[in-house]
Amino acid sequence: MDMSDIERRGLVLLGCGKMGSAMLAGWLSGGLPPGSVWVRDPKPSEWLQGTGVHLNEDLPEDPAVLLVAVKPQMMDEALPGAADLGGGGTLVVSVAAGTSLARFEKSFGDGTPVVRAMPNTPAAIGRGITSIVGNAEAGSDHLDLAETLLKAVGQVVRLEGEDQMDAVTAVSGSGPAYVFHLIETLAAAGEAEGLPPELALALAKATVGGAGQLAEDSGEDPGQLRVNVTSPNGTTQAALEVLMDEESGFPALLKRAVHAAAERSRELGRG
């Protein structure tokens, strides 16, 4: 199963909000014909209406992929209309947070290959990172196809088991919000030292964005990058002595924050 199968048999996108639209835009710009895509969405955007895809039409009988991108709370309403696609011929891929493989196996029946994926919000600009894991019916060809589709919005990594998904949710799924809050608080700290608000925010945004890009692109470990910019007894060291404090700094704070998010993910998964 590969992209040629999708072109021939079709891809069904269930839900086309921000994440669905980001993925669809990536597929279309990558050469997937609009006529190979069927979208079900109750409130289609103007952009979606102009793509040329099959919008809210009858679904093909045997599509190659059904990609579920509805919000978890809409799952009970959305899935029944596509349940007859289960049974093995169609790969089901979900990007819905907190929705287990077992939930989809229950809806689509035995023999259905399912891949669960956790993307994050930078997918909207093609800079996301998505973690994937498959059920017992999902073979290497299914995972390969899911990875190909999800690379339209950034990097893809494979998990060893679904039990890792709660930690992934806490690190990369919720993680962008932590970084946005870092930008907010860094800018506020700059204001407190006398900078105009607009300047402080511009400095904070560019610093976090640039440092993140450097960490991704550099062959050096982030710890070494930190050492590289820390002169002995200099300004950076003065700040890091506060931030790296084992009790009140980043180590303890982020460990607590990520654990709280992971625990909440586990609670939501239990229903």
Q: How far apart are the first and last CA of the chain?
A: 34
81 assigned ligand-binding residue: no
Nearest to 108 by CA among 90, 96, 120, 124: 90
Q: Confirm whether residue 56 is marked as ligand binding.
A: yes
Rg, the chain, Cα only: 21
SS3 at position 93? strand
Q: Is 16 assigned to a binding site?
A: yes
Edge-to-edge order in the sheet of strand 91-94: 54-55, 37-40, 11-14, 65-68, 91-94, 114-118, 128-134, 154-158
Is 210 labelled a binding residue? no
Specify the residue for token string 């980043």: 250
The answer to whether 243 is annotated as binding is no
- Residue 19 known to bind ligand: yes
Q: Is 17 annotated as a binding residue?
A: yes
Q: Is 15 annotated as a binding residue?
A: yes
DSSP per residue, 197-218: HHHHHHHHHHHHHHHHHHHHH-
Sequence ranges of the binding site for NADPH: 56
Sequence ranges of the binding site: 14-19, 56, 69-72
Sequence ranges of the binding site for NADP(+): 14-19, 69-72
